Amino acid sequence: MSRWLKEPLLHFLLIGVGLFALFYQVTDPQAVADDRIQITEADIDRVIAMFERKWQRPPSPDEVNGLIEARIREEVLYREALAMGLDEDDTVVRRRMAQKMDFLFNDLAEVSEPTEEALQAFYEANPDRFSASGQTSFDHVYLSADQRGGDAKIQARNLLRVLDADPESVDPVMIGDRFVLGYNFDRQSDRQVTNMFGQEFATALATLEPGMWRGPVGSSYELHLVYVRARIRGRLPPLAEVRQAVLREFQAKKRREADQAFYRALRERYTVVVERSEREPERLASTVERK
């Protein structure tokens, strides 16, 4: 008998009976009066389209049957959950329903293909979004103020004269201090340079002429003497080269505008009252102090 009581199957059966009993205690019988579930052709097309987007292939007949059965299961559980009132005062459910409204509107607000004139105007108004970044190949000698003391800049200027006298025989590793990121950089974009050395260094680097040592140049590390080997200037390619990128940006902007207009129209249907505590500034200030 004790062995039988330990069987997992019995535990599942008892849990199922308990849930079944709870359901009929809390459920309004009228709430589940509609026991008809209809799966339309549109429903099937939708689940097939979702499958194809995820797996990049059409489903097999068996997979379609599985998708339909999953849709039926979802509808059954959804109705039972509504009948039991599981959607009430549930933050997660509220957020998912709000997200679903967003998704629904995004489907309805599909942006049409713009005219060439509209696309050209958007492209010309946003050149920074579509410009090809410049690239710089350079070497550098690193001088650490921690190791060289307060006269690091004087040492940098003296070393620059040595480099100017014989630029071809310089070994940045031997002549300068150790630098963890290396000493030779090829075809680095402006953003890459900024990420590695900081904005001060990137701005200065853009002004240096190739073929000579210059500096000292400050960075987020300390000081550098820099030799620019080659530079490819950034450029704004013609619209034909970046048309797909411009089209994506244009349509994304139109979707955002449509979304904002849709929300404003919905919000105007409601009277919104926000009750704020007089002690809110004090409470927020104390929260900041604790952090």
Q: What is the pLDDT of residues 86-107, one digit of tens each?
A: 777 777 777 777 777 777 666 6
What domains appear along the chain, each with residue ranges and CATH number?
A: 21-88 (no CATH), 116-124+238-290 (no CATH), 133-232 (3.10.50.40)
Spatial contact of 194 and 160, defined as CB atoms under 8 Å apart: no
Spatial contact of 237 and 130, defined as CB atoms under 8 Å apart: yes
- CA gap 208, 231 in Å, rounded: 10
At 188 the pLDDT is: 92
Averaged over 214-239, what is the pLDDT? 88
Residue appearing with tokens 């070497």: 139
At 137 the pLDDT is: 95
| Residue type (1 letter), 228 | V
Q: What is the largest CA-CA distance in the chain?
A: 97
pLDDT in tens, 183-214: 999 999 888 999 999 999 999 998 998 988 99
Q: Which residue has the higher pLDDT, 28 or 248?
A: 248
Residue 132 — very low, low, confident or very high, per pLDDT cuts 50/70/90? confident
At 9 the pLDDT is: 44
97-112 burial code (b ≥16 CB/10 A, e <16): eeeeeeeeeeeeeeee
Residue in 156, 174, 277 with CA at minimum distance from that of residue 223: 156
Name the DSSP letter for residue 233. -
At 211 the pLDDT is: 87
CA 234 to chain CA mean position, Å: 25
Q: Is the pLDDT of residue 115 over 70?
A: yes
Residue 260 — very low, low, confident or very high, per pLDDT cuts 50/70/90? confident
Phi and psi torsions of 245, nearest 5°: -65, -40
- CA gap 135, 203 in Å, rounded: 13
Structure tokens at 107: 């489907």
